Amino acid sequence: MAHIEWTDDLSVGIEAIDRQHQRIIGYVNKLYDNLHDRQLLADVLADTVEYTESHFGFEETMMEEAGYPYLRAHKRIHDLFIRRVAKYKERFVAGEDIGEELHDTLVRWLITHIKSEDANYSASLVAKFGRDEAKMTKKKSWFARLFGD
């Protein structure tokens, strides 16, 4: 499984979130490029985890503000994922070569999650915020981290 290509079927119909997903895919592809370089892998792994956690926080706040009825279930899936990745991180720190396995997991998880759970909140968020990014992102402290360079 090599690089993931962004295709239209991954769009949740909300530009701000699509861009965050595209950035996560960028990190996962970078991970693939550095599978066997421990130092680079450590850096990319840290970036991927940090950005993904901010992104989850953003999604969860948007779902909450939109009154999305399945927020709790969605948040549980995010939390499980974070714990799963933390286990890979532990194995990595213990010296294991987990790059390929982690990459495969991330690719599979991400595609499935975006196409199913994330697609499910789309209508609720659009109903609340329209497709106006400014309405979603104002007053949000993680704005710079999620949208900056």
Nearer to Fe ion, 32 or 121 (CB): 121
Q: 145: burial class by Cβ within 10 Å (0-12, 13-18, 19+)?
A: middle
CB 56, min distance to Fe ion, A: 6
> Which uninterrupted H or E stretch holds 126?
helix 119-129
Q: 95: burial class by Cβ within 10 Å (0-12, 13-18, 19+)?
A: exposed
CB 41, min distance to Fe ion, A: 24
Nearer to Fe ion, 43 or 53 (CB): 53
Binding site for Fe ion (CB under 5 A): 59, 118
CB 78, min distance to Fe ion, A: 6
